[in-house]
Each structure stands twice: as structure tokens, then as C-alpha cells.
Amino acid sequence: MTPDPVKAARELLAFYVEAGVDACVNETPNDLLAAEGLDAAPSPAIPEKPRNIYQQAPHSPPSLASQTAARPQLQRPAVTQPRQLAAPPPSADAAALAAREAARRATSLDELRVILQNFEGCALRATAKQLVFADGNPHARVMFVGEAPGRDEDLEGLPFVGRSGKLLDRMLAAIGLDRTSVYIANIVPWRPPGNRDPSLQETQICLPFITRQIELVDPDVLVCLGKPATAGLLGVSEGIRKTRGRWFSYQTGAREIRAIPTFHPAYLLRTPIEKRFAWRDFLAIKKALAN
């Protein structure tokens, strides 16, 4: 049976790769010690055909210098400069400090949006499709703050546009409000991969931006949707079932804002029986705005 030369060549190349061969120096064997100019005696080479490579009399033995000159020189690969590695990401404390300094510089919501778009301290920025800043009326008297964007929000660049957003719209309509009369944002403005909950570290890094956002909107009522928003903005460690419907004081440094936690619409979709408590909370919001 005649062996397939192509198959044999591929198997030989595969063997070389497994053996660690990554470069072809030359087609014929070379005495690398002699090519380096060392004192070691060269190994005698057996030529395929008699060739007069020494250009000397037959009775005169070839010298080491003539052998070295006649032997092809080893081609050394060019020395390349090491590739510059990317700078490591900042630590969580450094990123949080940079976020506080950057957020403090914003004098308007438009400036804050630009600062967030250029902020690289949060790793979620690299995995999300786009920044989800806010939606609604920036001069509204009531501001809703959720946790983080989901898949639909990441695609459209607006908060609360998926199933939970449609439920929130119906809840607002029940007390005579819509997106033209409220302002909606999230603590974390980038979608976590796989719609997972943002980590405590990610929340702490992004917290200065939502804090500055609240200061610039300056609402009369602040509504925290879910436990992460309640814990991040109000510093409350109790569960949302114990804190929902209770009024808290949120200090901006310039004034006091009334704040109330309630269930996140996504939670209400999973647990419809809790909608009756959320309805009570929205009635309390309506009454506060009326007063």
C-alpha cells in the first residue's frame, strides 16, 4: 500500500508541534557550536556527493577557519520588543474615589451623562451594550430609582422598558402619573451580564453618580424600587417587606427629601400577591404629592 504523502506530511507537522517545534532554522543540519565561533571541534559532516568545498590541495587538511567560512551562517530571528501590556483596572476603592470626584464636577444632567459615558472605573461598562442613564421629566416632583438595567433596557438605552417597565407604567397611570411627570433612573446604569444582580462593589462604585443625579433633579419625593435601591440610598439593612410603605428622610446636603421604599415591579411580576401592598405605597405617594 503506497502511503499518502500529504497525510504523512501533516502527521509529521503535528508531531513537530507536539514536540514544541515552532520555527524552521534551515533545510540542512548545522553545527551551531561552530556557527557561534566556539572552540568545540566541529562534527564531521558526510556530504551526499563529493564536493570541493575547501579549495585546498588534496593532501592539506582543511582549517577550522575555512570550515567556518564555508558553512552557512545561522539566521537569527530578529529581536522584538515586548508588547506593552494594558494598564490593570483600578481597585474598587480607587474607582469609587474617582467616581465621587467625577460626579462632583457635573453641574447638569447632560454633563453627568457625558461623565458617565467616559467613566471606566466600573467593569460593567465593558460588557453592557450602552449606558442606561434615565427617562422622564428632569423637572419632575417625584423620582423613581431602581437597581440596574435588564436586557430590554440595555438594547433601548432607557430604564424600565421591558415587562417590569410596562407594569410600572400601569401603576403610575393608576395614580394619575406617566413618564412625562416622573423621572426614572437606576443605581447602576449598566446592565450586569446575564441580568444578574449587581455586586456590592459595583453598586458602591456607581453610587456617587446616582446621588449626584438625585441632587440635580431635586425631587420632592424619592421612591426606591426594591431592596438594593433602598439599602444603597437610604442605608437601610432591613428587608424590603419591613421597609416598604415607611417614610424616610433623604439628605442631599442642600435639603431634605421624603423617601419611600416599595416593591420592584420585577418582584411584583414574580409575586403578584404583593401588588396590594404596592398599591398602598403608590396611594401614599399620590397623597404626598398632593400635600
Contact 236, 222 (CB under 8 A): no
Per cent of the chain over pLDDT 70 is 74
pLDDT digits (tens, 9 = 90+) for 238-281: 999 999 999 999 999 889 999 999 999 999 999 999 999 999 99
Domains of the chain, CATH where assigned: 92-290 (3.40.470.10)
Q: Is the dihedral of CA 122, 124, 217, 232 positive or negative?
A: negative
The three-state secondary structure class of 260 is strand
Question: Taking residues 194-219, what's their average pLDDT?
Answer: 95
Instruction: Name the burial class of residue 90, with classes exposed (0-12), middle (13-18) and buried (19+) by CB atoms within 10 angstroms of its CB.
Output: middle
Mean pLDDT of the chain: 84
Question: Taking residues 124-136, what's their average pLDDT?
Answer: 96
DSSP assignment letter at 54: S
What confidence tier does 46 reach under pLDDT thresholds 50, 70, 90? low
Question: Taking residues 144-172, what's their average pLDDT?
Answer: 96
Question: Taking residues 228-247, what's their average pLDDT?
Answer: 95
What confidence tier does 14 reach under pLDDT thresholds 50, 70, 90? confident
Phi then psi for residue 93, to 5 deg, are: -65, -40
What confidence tier does 100 reach under pLDDT thresholds 50, 70, 90? very high
Type and span of the H or E element at 249: strand 248-251
User: What pLDDT score was predicted for residue 89?
Assistant: 58
**CA 290/CA 95 separation, integer angstroms:** 41
In the predicted structure, residue 60 carries a pLDDT above the cut 70: no
**CA 90/CA 291 separation, integer angstroms:** 46
User: What pLDDT score was predicted for residue 92?
Assistant: 80
Question: Taking residues 27-53, what's their average pLDDT?
Answer: 54
Count other C-beta atoms under 10 Å from residue 173's C-beta: 10
